[in-house]
């Protein structure tokens, strides 16, 4: 069993304000890294409960980093923050993709919901389907034949994932009461649930279909009011209007995933 885990910092229990995830508040962010790392380690433990010899690779997917390297699981390996592009060292040798600390897409009402950037992006669509980071990366994995089998985050993120991957195993570690408000499980209970469900997800990975859309692909990105689209135009996108761009390709990795 070989598993790739993608992490983010907005999804764990006990995190519900943007200032908890940003370097401008170092003490808050360090506490958040503690929560995320505990949940990631619990996921690794669950995989190893099911497959003691499993190979587990974790990619720290938070922009400014979200893993406390001093507490990272000794039986997993970490791709720490640095220059990286999709597919984030995921390939067809992996049996499963898991998401820990995942947030929902922009506009969903989920805790700290956003799509790649909370400050610039209004939405992403691929082949007409609106997707957040889960959807884009689950599709990325699906093009490689790798199923997305677990998501841990708030209840809105779990529901979003199940819209695309109905059989995915989900762990809702908090309930969204607003974009910056949530009803949380304790850290310990969140970790216990993640460990148990991760073991189930690993055991049942082969029964979950990869999320797949056939090529060609068309991605539409709309930015927030006042945000420039020049960066996208410089990467081969075409303007639809002053806030919206589009790009087509037979290769999903040519797009922003």
pLDDT tens sequence across 126-159: 999 999 999 999 999 999 999 999 999 999 999 9
- Mean pLDDT (whole number) for 233-255: 98
Alpha-carbon distance 239 to 38, whole Å?
A: 43
Confidence of residue 219 (pLDDT cuts 50, 70, 90): very high
Whole-model pTM above 0.85? yes
8-state DSSP, 76: S
Domains of the chain: 2-104+132-211 (3.40.50.10780)
As a whole number of angstroms, the distance between CA 252 and CA 154 comes to 27
| Percentage of the chain exceeding pLDDT 90 | 98
pLDDT band of 21, cuts 50, 70, 90:
very high
Distance CA 103, CA 157 (A): 5
pLDDT bucket at 102, cuts 50 / 70 / 90 = very high
- Extract long-range pairs of 27-35: CB within 8 Å, 24+ residues apart: 29/64, 30/68, 32/66, 33/9, 33/65, 33/66, 33/67, 33/68, 34/68, 34/71, 35/187
Give the tokens for residue 5. Answer: 């885990």
pLDDT number for residue 215: 98
Q: What is the CA radius of gyration of the chain?
A: 17
In the predicted model, what is the mean pLDDT of residues 70-90?
96
Tell whether the model's pLDDT for residue 250 goes beyond 90.
yes
Calculate mean pLDDT across residues 192-205: 98
**pLDDT at position 82:** 86
pLDDT at position 92 over 90: yes
- Residue 164 has what pLDDT? 98
Instruction: Say how far apart CA 11 and CA 113 lie, in whole Å.
Output: 9
Average pLDDT, the chain: 98
| Termini Cα distance of the chain | 25
Q: Is the pLDDT reported for residue 81 higher than 90?
A: no
* pLDDT attached to residue 227: 98
* Residue 39 pLDDT exceeds 90: yes
Tokens in use for 33? Answer: 């890294």
Partners of residue 154 on adjacent β-strands: 174
pLDDT at 202 exceeding the cut of 90? yes
Residue 163 corresponds to which tokens in the numbers above?
């819209």
- How confident is the model at residue 68, as a pLDDT? 97
What is the pLDDT at residue 29? 97
Phi, psi of 9 (to 5 degrees): -100, -10
Q: Residue 104, SS3?
A: coil
In this prediction, residue 243 carries a pLDDT of 98
In the chain, the percentage of residues whose pLDDT exceeds 70 is: 100
The pLDDT of residue 122: 98
């Amino acid at each position: 069993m070989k598993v790739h885990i993608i992490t983010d910092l907005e999804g764990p229990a006990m995190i519900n304000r943007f200032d908890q995830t940003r370097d401008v508040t170092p003490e808050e962010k360090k506490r958040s890294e503690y929560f995320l790392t505990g949940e990631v380690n619990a996921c690794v433990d669950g995989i190893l409960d099911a497959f003691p010899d499993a190979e587990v690779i974790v990619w720290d997917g938070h922009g400014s980093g979200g893993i406390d390297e001093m507490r990272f699981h000794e039986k997993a390996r970490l791709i720490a923050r640095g220059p990286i592009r999709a597919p984030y060292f995921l390939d067809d040798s992996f049996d499963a993709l898991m998401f820990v600390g995942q947030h929902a897409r922009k506009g969903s009402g989920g805790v700290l919901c956003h799509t790649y950037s909370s400050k610039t992006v209004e939405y992403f669509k691929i082949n007409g389907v609106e997707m957040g980071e889960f959807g884009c990366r689950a599709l990325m994995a699906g093009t490689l034949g790798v199923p997305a089998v677990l998501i841990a985050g708030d209840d809105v993120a779990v529901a979003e994932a199940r819209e695309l991957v109905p059989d995915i195993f989900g762990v809702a570690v908090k309930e969204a009461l607003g974009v910056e408000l949530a009803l949380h499980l304790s850290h310990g209970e969140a970790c216990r649930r993640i460990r148990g469900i991760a073991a189930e997800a690993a055991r049942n990975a082969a029964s979950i279909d990869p999320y797949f859309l056939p090529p060609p692909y068309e991605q539409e990105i709309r930015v927030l009011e006042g945000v420039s689209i020049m960066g996208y135009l410089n990467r081969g996108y075409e303007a639809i209007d002053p806030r919206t761009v589009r790009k087509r390709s037979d290769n999903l990795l040519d797009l922003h995933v």
